A and B are shown apart, each in its own frame.
Chain A
């Protein structure tokens, strides 16, 4: 075989091999991804009631609906300070924080939670449910709250929002 054709042969072989390797790497990645998909942990939601408000029916309904949708739910309870909520979110490695408040401390409490998250450089999406008037909704969104829910919101809409907020790649083991 002439040296040029030999070179051609080896060059072709090497490019073939490289392609094979790429394919195998891709396959491996696909395989891994599949594995991740099946071992993917569920979305972990931390629910809490900041302040003194005692209306906990709504948050309990949300907790049950998210559980039924296959998520992991940690309901911290009521009468919590923003500090306690943010610390728990860190400890529990929450993907989403859901706050519930049906009293007037809604905005000040939301404000304090968001400030603490910023101070700690945490990018955990926060949802807020409660008696949120239309004019207050914008204030909360401006604070960085990702979405608000008023009374009468259907559970399936809340489940959908949580799913949209937590993209798949955040859930790899």
Chain B
């Protein structure tokens, strides 16, 4: 295939409805009767029932005698997400657990124990710290630094204007250019970002959502210029637009339009980017905005269902796209709940893909994930404590079986990371991997009464959230109406009140507060020079490029959008000749509109 000759894809606007109408109610299909696929012999069942009765008797007497002697220090115990907890868990709590059906083996359906067979015994998780700061040239230097330290994948974070789809010279961009990530206005910046960094052999991750079209187009244009075939490019675009509208809040398009544009990229990727993870469904901001563990999972999967439904209507086969969809999650402070979450989400994803979408390729069922320890779990007070929080989160992620991980840098609550903080995060992961022993065995918590019970409980609550969203018309609809945002806000307020009343202790914040005034740690700052340089470069670019041709290709893009064609090829054509991100996004906003979030307070 010549990379320059393909035309617009799927341009006739015909959509083929292939939605699986027969999707059964999850509570019927997935609830506790999923365990009886292999009938036990009658004798074995009776013996088991007898055992359970004995355990129950013993437990009751233990509660009344031994346990009753010491009163608990709190009236009620619950996970961080508010799932109530008992004193102790026994075989009574996992009566229906069927090893082969519910857990199975790593690398096999339903993947509860791991996405791959050897997990960390094969290739340990990828250390993927997020990098992005200042101009593309500055980020290029930072990339080279972290890669020398031992990082194995490249991850790009963008500044706020880039994430929203505005150029550095937009009036609202003032003060934000290159501050919390790299500023990418055009292909010229992409060229600077990748100077002397090979495109092949490394995986490249772009934390970009609504502007996936222009940013991916620039990356592909760069590959084309260097003669690197699309098919050899490995990497990920986050490309999960719905959660931007209600959680991350770096949106541009209205929810339904954002889904249409996402499907354009999916269609393109299914044809031309076999090694690219075209979407990295991201639950992180949902949790960071206050959601419980089952909202993190439920909203993310409900969004995925929305995307897949639309993609299938476009005639894209589920197996063409699902193997390229990876997932990203938050790691909060409740160590055990997090491990259960990772186990539950693999099982849920496998069931959605196999049972709902009838995916045939096992890779479609296999939930590969990245996790990042939560910035919201970190505190501004006594920032060094965050090194410990990051370690706990990193352990939970490793034990939960993630494929790649970032430990948020300890100064995250204060600023973007300093080099020292970056190094510490990478070293923490290396210590976990090589010294702690947790990478020596796969899914060591399996079989724990508590862990299996909690895994089931999180799964059940997640199905309920998914069902609720579907009953309300799907995720895009729930974003439009503000429903999702409202739930997160209510949950967050509950947590805020718990911290306020000290029902929940946060060390250094509402308890164990330091007496002396704290000093800020070494802080990384982007100089004002960055913004000036970026603006000067952009001005120069707009003077020297072929403006007439840029205008023409932007008009072609607008017309393609009006026809509701797949706009991806038109974006690439525009990006190639240095049309800016803001211009491409504006052309799309002209047709698809702009999101105004509903008021929810």
Q: Which residues of A contact B (CB under 8 A)?
A: 51-57, 60-61, 63-65, 67, 73, 75, 77-79, 81, 103-105, 107-109, 131, 133-135, 150-152, 154-156
A64 to chain B, nearest CB (A): 5
Known contacts A79-B172, A104-B179, A109-B175; is A131 also within 8 Å of B380 by CB? yes
User: Which listed residue, A61, A79, A135, touches B496 by the CB 8 Å rule?
Assistant: A61
Closest to A108 in B: B175
**Measured between alpha carbons, how far is A53 from B161 in the docked complex, in Å?**
9
Mask, B149-177, CB within 8 Å of A = 1, is 00000000000110010100001111110
Measured between beta carbons, the chain B residues less than 8 angstroms from A108 are 174-175
Near A by CB (< 8 A), chain B positions 265-288 give 288
Mask, B18-42, CB within 8 Å of A = 1, is 0000000000000000000000000
**SS of A interface (majority):** loop
Known contacts A54-B249, A64-B493; is A151 also within 8 Å of B380 by CB? yes
Known contacts A151-B379, A151-B380; is A133 also within 8 Å of B249 by CB? no
Question: Are A53 and B160 touching (Cβ within 8 A)?
Answer: yes
Closest to B166 in A: A52
Question: Are A105 and B174 touching (Cβ within 8 A)?
Answer: yes
Question: Are A54 and B496 touching (Cβ within 8 A)?
Answer: no
Question: Are A103 and B179 touching (Cβ within 8 A)?
Answer: yes
Question: Are A133 and B523 touching (Cβ within 8 A)?
Answer: yes
Closest to A157 in B: B500
Measured between beta carbons, the chain B residues less than 8 angstroms from A64 are 489, 493, 496, 601
Question: Are B599 and A52 touching (Cβ within 8 A)?
Answer: no
Question: Are B180 and A103 touching (Cβ within 8 A)?
Answer: yes
Question: Are A51 and B500 touching (Cβ within 8 A)?
Answer: no
Q: Is B509 close to A, CB under 8 A?
A: yes
Known contacts A77-B597, A103-B160; is A131 also within 8 Å of B415 by CB? yes
Near A by CB (< 8 A), chain B positions 496-519 give 496, 499-500, 506, 508-510, 518-519
Known contacts A53-B160, A54-B249; is A154 also within 8 Å of B500 by CB? yes
Known: A54-B160, A64-B601. 4 other contacts (CB 8 A): A61-B493, A63-B601, A104-B176, A152-B381
Question: Are B160 and A77 touching (Cβ within 8 A)?
Answer: no
Mask, B168-192, CB within 8 Å of A = 1, is 0001111110011000000000000
Can you list 26 contacts pairing A with B, beta carbon distance less than 8 Å? A51-B175, A52-B160, A52-B172, A53-B160, A53-B176, A57-B288, A57-B376, A57-B492, A61-B493, A61-B496, A64-B493, A67-B601, A73-B601, A75-B599, A77-B599, A81-B171, A105-B175, A108-B174, A109-B175, A131-B380, A131-B414, A133-B414, A133-B523, A150-B380, A152-B508, A152-B509
